[in-house]
Structure 1
Amino acid sequence: MILFISDLHLQADRPALTEAFLRFVDERARAARRLYLLGDLFEYWAGDDDLDDAFHQRIVAALRALADGGVELFWIAGNRDFLVGARFAEAAGVTLLPETWVIEDHGRRIVLLHGDAQCTDDVRYMAFRTQVRDPAWQQQFLAMPLAQRKQIIAGLRENSRKDQGEKSYEIMDVTPQAIADVFAQTNTTVMIHGHTHRPALHDVDGKLRYVLPDWEPEATPPRGGWIAIGDDGAITRHSLDGTPL
């Protein structure tokens, strides 16, 4: 079994969310062959020098236990945790992947990505994304003291919340052309991504696009879940309690 999750936005002040993730690790992920983390596992990541934080240590230990138990772990960065680096990967036992990654399973080519790069109608976000994904910008940012980086990130998160309140859902969603381009460039027939917080299965001219949910176990009703590929090749979507959708 192969599992896919994204958009948990783990943070220390949301204990119910943390417990939901740890239950998933213990009750679901341990039985998998591979687990793909497709971005925004954390609400934010200020740099690998924040690994000593007690909350981060708890999450890393859970991932490391999976890896040590024989589960292969793979990571694609999201828009909140793109500063995860080699030190984190080594500690957690994960393999860092590029923004777009293709796997083959049961004769299908499946493309995996976070999804934010395909929200091309959101012009302001795309400009910001270009800036922060630039290696020179990242080098300069990571050279700042950790406390200063966290202050900057807090300001960016507040600005992001304000921007989202002013933007339409359509602007913040992926665009059909960007999705078509990924399918064409990767020669794939199935796509799995997150980011939009709009879990669904879309048929795109005969090709399948699966969108992962964000995790909100405190909500009414609770939100969250994962996608699985079984040993028989069947792709299934699951709610937070494991119920197939």
Structure 2
Amino acid sequence: MTTLFIADLHLSAERPDITACFLRFMAEETHHIDALYVLGDLFEMWIGDDEDSPFLQQVKQAFKTLTDTGTPCYFIHGNRDFLIGKRFSRETGIILLPEHTVVDLYGTPTLILHGDTLCIGDPAYQRYRKKVHNPIIQWLFARLPLSYRIKVGDKIRSNSGKNNKTKSQSIMDVTQEEVVRVMRDENVTQMIHGHTHRPDIHDLDIDGIPAQRIVLGDWYDHGSVLVYNAEGYQLETRNFNTPSSD
């Protein structure tokens, strides 16, 4: 059996090619798997569980079809969809996990997370993250009219794109010392995360013990999937036009 990991799809109605690839992946590749993990930024922007466009209904149904078979699907919030809540969970069958979660992958304790908490070289983003994760601010935002929240979400998305263009790649990447600190604190030698859009497998040394950090890819130009089973794991891509893998 196999466990699949995906992250940073940034699904939106404006990118039907990504949505089509995702729906094909769900329909063709999630049969007879142990579990599916979505490590954040499933959506380009999430402004509340009460939004229910035809596009979102398609995505929700894909998850519901999977979880109705008894296959577990787990979700960790990203920096774009941290407002996904209990209603979305009920409608899809997805299980919401804490932002840092340790899972047993065929005998290997593994820390899974979105990855933005590791980017401590960007203090401005970390201040913003702390603010928007404040439960009071989220409670107030959820009670604004949907149309207003959509405008706010579009503004945040636009500002994020502008800000990222002015930041160096090193600032937006994880801080190695923070990676080691978190793995040491969680007592693991394997980590899986997304967020940075830099798929790779990094070898580490934690107090003389070999360790690995597996980074998931984004879905901007092609799909990206981590296929993990008892024999090993591999980062694979999926073509937007036809099913394929590397």
Q: Is the 8 A contact 2:21 2:223 kept in 1?
A: no
Residue of structure 2 equivalent to 1:43:
44
Measured after TM superposition, the shift of residue 80 of structure 1 is 0.3
User: Partner of 2:141: helix, strand, or coil?
Assistant: helix
Residue of structure 2 equivalent to 1:109:
109
Q: Is the 8 A contact 1:105 1:233 kept in 2?
A: no
Residue segments in structure 1 that go unaligned for 5+ positions in a row: none
TM-score normalized with structure 1 length? 0.94
Residue of structure 2 equivalent to 1:10:
11
Residue of structure 1 equivalent to 2:238:
240
Report the aligned-residue RMSD: 1.1
Residue of structure 2 equivalent to 1:213:
217
C-alpha distance in structure 2 between counterparts of 1:233 and 1:67, whole Å: 25
Question: Sequence identity of aligned pairs in percent?
Answer: 42
Q: Is the 8 A contact 2:64 2:93 kept in 1?
A: yes
Q: Which structure 2 residues correspond to residues 28-107 of structure 1 after superposition, within 5 A?
A: 28-50=29-51, 52-107=52-107
C-alpha distance in structure 2 between counterparts of 1:32 and 1:112, whole Å: 18
Letter in 2 for 1:16: D
Letter in 2 for 1:177: E
Measured after TM superposition, the shift of residue 35 of structure 1 is 0.2
Letter in 1 for 2:224: G
Letter in 2 for 1:215: W
Residue segments in structure 2 that go unaligned for 5+ positions in a row: none
1:226 aligns with 2:225: yes
Letter in 2 for 1:31: H
User: Partner of 1:30: helix, strand, or coil?
Assistant: coil
C-alpha distance in structure 1 between counterparts of 2:231 and 2:19, whole Å: 30
C-alpha distance in structure 1 between counterparts of 2:57 and 2:122, whole Å: 35
C-alpha distance in structure 1 between counterparts of 2:36 and 2:58, whole Å: 18
Residue of structure 2 equivalent to 1:191:
191
Q: Is the 8 A contact 1:33 1:70 kept in 2?
A: no
Letter in 1 for 2:63: L
C-alpha distance in structure 2 between counterparts of 1:180 and 1:147, whole Å: 43
Letter in 2 for 1:9: H
User: Partner of 2:101: helix, strand, or coil?
Assistant: strand
Q: Is the 8 A contact 2:18 2:223 kept in 1?
A: no
Report the count of equivalent residues: 237
Q: Per-residue CA shift, 1:45-86, capped at 9, x if unaligned? A: 101111x22111110000000001221000000000000000
Measured after TM superposition, the shift of residue 224 of structure 1 is 2.7
Measured after TM superposition, the shift of residue 30 of structure 1 is 2.3
Q: Per-residue CA shift, 1:126-168, capped at 9, x if unaligned? A: 0000000110110111111111111111111111111011000
C-alpha distance in structure 2 between counterparts of 1:80 and 1:12, whole Å: 15
